[in-house]
Structure 1
Amino acid sequence: MNPPRTLHAISDDAREARCDLRQRDIVDDAILLMRAAGTLSALEFLKSHAVDTRIITRVLLDPSKRRSGAALRPA
């Protein structure tokens, strides 16, 4: 007989797991734009590409929650 399986709550990170490669590229471009031209420019760029507000907030205002990627490596 198999032991009972334990159900685990799905974390916010898992729920928002990056599955859209196009959006990943948009976010990476926005981070580069933020470094070059500032947060407002990056914000407008992300909004113009219909990126979800929660993602915009995490990317621009909470760097500790950014996912690792090429654009995030130190220049």
Structure 2
Amino acid sequence: MMNALLSPRLESVPKNDVTQQRHDEQSSAVVERGITVQASFNTICAIEYMKSHNVAPQVIERVLLNPEQRRKAHH
């Protein structure tokens, strides 16, 4: 189901943007909030939140479906 939600966006994201590393605190905060939304509500809400903040579909899929692949949080 999640692939159906993400796949329309995959075609619209330029390849060089998809593979770009997170490079700012704002992007990091959006991803962290998305993870919190998933834990507090559900995955669909988290997907919509992250999509609305222009997080790449591959990043959304990685952080929400594969928590073991997440970057370590900086505290």
TM range (shorter): 0.5 to 0.7
CA distance in 2, matches of 1:37, 1:43: 11
Return 5+ residue gaps in structure 1 as ranges. 1-14, 71-75
Q: How large is the Cα RMSD of the aligned pairs?
A: 1.5
Using the aligned pairs only, state the percent identity. Answer: 34
Greater C-alpha Rg: 1
Return 5+ residue gaps in structure 2 as ranges. 1-18
- TM-score, normalization by structure 2: 0.67
Residues 1:68 and 2:72 are matched in the alignment: yes
Residues 1:37 and 2:32 are matched in the alignment: no
1:1-12 → structure 2 map (5 Å cutoff):
none
Which has the larger helix fraction? 2
Match of 1:25 among 24, 29, 39: 29
CA distance in 2, matches of 1:16, 1:55: 10
Q: Number of aligned pairs?
A: 56
- TM-score, normalization by structure 1: 0.67
**Runs (4+) off by over 4 Å:** none
